[in-house]
Amino acid sequence: MKLLAGNSNKALAAAIGDYLDVPLTRAQVRRFADMEVFVTIDENVRGEDVFVIQSTSYPANDNLLELLICIDALQRASARRITAVTPYFGYARQDRKTGGRTPISAKLVANLITRAGADRVLTLDLHAGQIQGFFDIPTDNLVAYPVMAEDIKRRQKLDDLMIVSPDVGGVVRARQLADRLDAPFAVVDKRRTAPGESEVMNIIGEVKGRRCILFDDIIDTAGTLCNAAKAIMEAGAKSVSAYVSHGVLSGPAYDRVSSSVLDELVVTDTIETSDLAKACEKIRRVSVAPLIGEAIRRIANEESVSKLFD
């Protein structure tokens, strides 16, 4: 087994390597003067099972191109099998046509990864599960809710806990976490007024007197999550925290989280933590390196990945 890391999240790649007790493959992923990506693999990978660890987070296009060129370099170096490990799969929110003359960019990116030479894909909490079907190669979509559930059990009392989905689209995700914790769940019914903006319409479920935990897959500008948290508190909840798989956290997100009613925002390390996130007292991070590392070990050994979540 070989682990090759791009530049998007070297800390996570190193943590995965530590879990597996496998050093990262020596390689250079750098830029020419005009910012073209150049990759050199500095050790033999012929006949090896290679896992390329690279989230396609900001800057999404640069990191995506790094991933594609790493895959191409490995294919031309005669690697036996190449697995694209994308803890955060960018462009996943563009999974359908939302209007006339608009793209389905998630399918395009899936095609690019496949045509570059990847033999399989390993990712975590795709925004829409059907994106697995966009790939014509085996795709494993891990879920973060077991990691979140363990963290909640260690830090929260479960007697008056309630899991809340910030929108109707996340109901299945919230129910999975609620079932894991044997807790009730509620749903915030919202109407999106513009991209990145939302207006809370209704709360389905009784949150009064509960300590609520919002659970979602992506937090970008934090508008939806902070609006949902405010509505929950106005409905009589004792407190509200949030657990989110991918902390994109762009634009006004940090200011919104800092000034919100949220007690805490917990994100995983699928996206490298920025200096602003480190400085925000309300943001805490949990690692999914053991989860991804164990999935990599199982793939390399031809074992079941789905049994991780039984």
What single string gives the DSSP state of each residue in 253-298?
HHHHHHHSS-S-EEEESSSPPPHHHHH-TTEEEE--HHHHHHHHHH
Q: How far is CA 98 from the centre of its chain?
A: 22
Residue 21 structure tokens:
């007790």
Residue 201 structure tokens:
């319409």
Task: In whole angstroms, give the CA distance from residue 113 to residue 120.
Answer: 9
Q: Are strands 49-53 and 37-41 parallel, antiparallel or unpaired?
A: unpaired
Answer yes or no: 278 catalytic. Answer: no
Which helix (H) or strand (E) segment holds residue 109: the answer is helix 105-116
Residue 145 structure tokens:
């809710």
Q: Are strands 120-124 and 81-86 parallel, antiparallel or unpaired?
A: parallel
Kindly tell me the number of DSSP H helices and DSSP E strands found in the chain. 9, 14
Task: In whole angstroms, give the CA distance from residue 249 to residue 220.
Answer: 5
Angle, in degrees to the nearest 10, between helices 289-300 and 10-20: 60
If phi over 0 gives left and psi between -120 and 50 gives alpha, with beta otherwise, what is residue 274? beta
Q: Write down the catalytic residue from 157, 190, 230, 282.
A: 190
Picking from 128, 131, 183, 130, the residue whose alpha carbon sits closest to that of residue 160 is 183
* Cβ-based neighbour number of residue 138 at 10 Å: 14
* Active-site amino acid positions: 190
